[in-house]
Structure 1
Amino acid sequence: MRQFAFSLVLSLLPGWVAAFEIEDVAYFGPRDSAQQLQVISTADIEFFRPMITSFLAENPDTSIHYTVASSTELQKAIIEEGQSFDLVISSAMDLQTKLANDGWAQKHVSDATRSLPAWASWNDMLFAFTQEPATIVVSKTGFENLPVPRDRHDLINLLRQYPDIFRGRVGTYDVRQSGLGYLFATQDTRASETYWRLTEVMGALDARLYCCSSDMIEALKSGELLIAYNVLGSYIVNREDYDEFTIILPADFTTLMLRTAMIPDGARAPELSGLFIDHLLGQSFGAGAQSLVHPDLDLSPVDTALNRIRIGPGLLVFLDQLKKRSYLSEWESAILQN
């Protein structure tokens, strides 16, 4: 087969040197291809595989080297180390906006980008191609005899009512390490003061902290957790075993993250990068496009409570170093009580 993909450990990649921490690497397409696209992304390989496969079906002489890193490590790779990538894809919209705002991105204009709704792009540099809700996820097995919360107020009451059951079995992001976790937390803060009360309740129950949605989901599956807060719903519904979980779109407000793509300033193959972006946008917005939200995530019940994060300089507020230090200090006081 000319088109194939396989995961590689870092030691198997001769000549590849990187100080930033890599979570996974995969190579797609013919190894002898003259057209190579170097992608760095926060999205797991399995999540992104269908988008790469469909692109290579239309461009069979292209290969894609796909590197997975956390949003903070992605920033380090681009800004501190000057690593050479052709495309940067991230769920941390604030960090993506900072990269573009600080001159680390180049513009891309095409028929596909011109036809985007205003909320889906910024300054011809950032382009949204998914909408992914932050959800509350519970283990069906673990919740067999417990009421399932509808919103954050229900969750607070549930945790207070059954502290012995939930102690050490509630999970959420470690916002000191996770760019997406920090984004969700600051957006929660903007939307409602309920977030701080919830964080204090989770902290009193020795909440477990995670880097990413996939780790929280695995902890739910193993029984380590009973409930996880602010998990990306898209990561659940893309699993074969997702019927083992109950996905809750909070009725008070459901935050929608936009996963964005950009072409870094030092891209070696900017035209190929633009072609890939147009492919993503065509799948999301073009004729016969699929919904930006996975079909198994029905947002209609919370339509009036949707809180779509908007791309743009407004996201930079909580990246101010003084404000961020103050926020993290308050968050640590709430979540780390022991």
Structure 2
Amino acid sequence: MKTRALGKSGFEVSEIGLGCWQLGNDFGPVEDEEATKILQTATGEGIHFFDTADVYGGGLSEERIGQWRKTLSKPPIIATKVGRNGELYPNGYSKVKVKQSLQASAKRLGVEAIDLAQLHCVPRDVLFSGDILAWMEDLKQEGVIKHFGASVEMLDEAMFCCEHAELASLQILFNVFRQDAVDSLLPLAEKNDVGIIVRLPLASGLLTGKMGLNHTFNAHDHRSYNKDGAAFHVGETFNGIPFEKGVVLVEALKEKLPEDQNILDVSLRWILDQPQVSSIIAGASRSSQVMRNAAASNLPPLSKELHSLLADFYRAEVRNEIRGGI
């Protein structure tokens, strides 16, 4: 497993990380034994960067990570998020409440100070006021957190955050079906030494190439109840693309790829070919998925021709299908 710098934090993180939303049972039930197996498999594969949030399973994901962390001789780097629990979202934000939420997360994780605390897709007006970023800077100085970043939904939000002098990282939606950050955000992130953490690298599973038009999802899975944005931002599910259209687009792209290229490998490697990316936080409900994702770290870079093909396909076929903005 290769490592990369996480912006100005001083952390070296595995370029494939583990997204731990599933460990909150928000995609369907994951038993304690399987959750531990997923975490153990990740460390066995060289993954030492884990991303969670206080709202994943109402704190269950953090609790599971905290219990597992106690068994390790060398603790990994753990990032969590703040800003979407009922005490704060959508209009209860204050520095005191943000601090209390972060302290509760630290307790569940079993740490004195959180390695990386990320604003969790807070409302645009709250973000753009600038106050909440100043609070995070204060909480870093107070020792509640070691570093802070932001997880955002839109590129203009990312560009705004990227200008904050103390911001260590940005977590964004980014994949071969959402490429706009390449020309706009990534150069600015490099200039300002902000690490890029990629979520939805496989567009909620579309880019595994294994989903057909008749694929069904557990009722507790956001891919069932949020496919049209009923519960939260539509871009967080299937990249904002209608599921049926997404399946058709994946099949069309598979037809264009060289015979020796797998769409899942191509999708992960394309992201890693962007030097500004620090880590891909790929989620997993089974340990076998962790191993499959981790293998991308050792794949060779894609050819210039393949990069051109993917860029052309995105602009011509995919971009106009994305709902909710970019």
TM-score (norm 1): 0.28
For the pair shown, the structure with the greater C-alpha radius of gyration is 1
Per the normalisation by structure 2, the TM-score is 0.29
Point out the structure with the larger helix share.
2
